[in-house]
Amino acid sequence: MTQEHAEALAAYRLGQAEDALCSAEKLLASGLRRDSVNRSYYAMFYAVLALLVTRQVGTSKHQGAISLFDREFVKKGVFPKDFSRWLHKAFERRIEVDYGEMVEVTQGVAMRVLEQATEFVDAVRQHLRLKAGRNQ
């Protein structure tokens, strides 16, 4: 993959993350807490995919992407361990709300997942900007 293609793909994935965050906010405001948790998780997932492009690694599987994020970015100190915990927990909650039976999500939980996803995506956006600046 060329550098230009990688940058375009990372930007696309980051755009997906930002769209998912916007959806999560609107869903939460509408009282659709389960759906908000889903979109908050996907915002984080798409941000991870944007990061993985920069390392020329990737996977379409969620667990694989999370593992690669931990290996390539958390263990190497690029992002704090809290980000790993947030991502893992958001993934677990997303599975629970999407596939569990009679799962209720409190406003507080949905808000916390959204806040963490927002901070996560913002940090990824900033990291990608810094990386792009160094490549110029």
Which domain CATH number covers 12?
Answer: 1.20.120.330
The amino acid occupying position 119 is E
Domain housing 74:
3-135
**pLDDT tens, 50-80?**
999 988 887 779 999 999 999 999 999 999 9
**pLDDT tens, 21-42?**
999 999 999 999 999 999 999 9
Q: On the CB side of 40, how many CA atoms lie within 13 Å of its CA?
A: 34
Helical H runs in 30-106? 33-54, 62-69, 81-99
Query: For the chain, how many structural domains are there in total?
Result: 1
Specify the residue for token string 């990688």. Answer: 6
Structure tokens belonging to residue 96: 């629970």
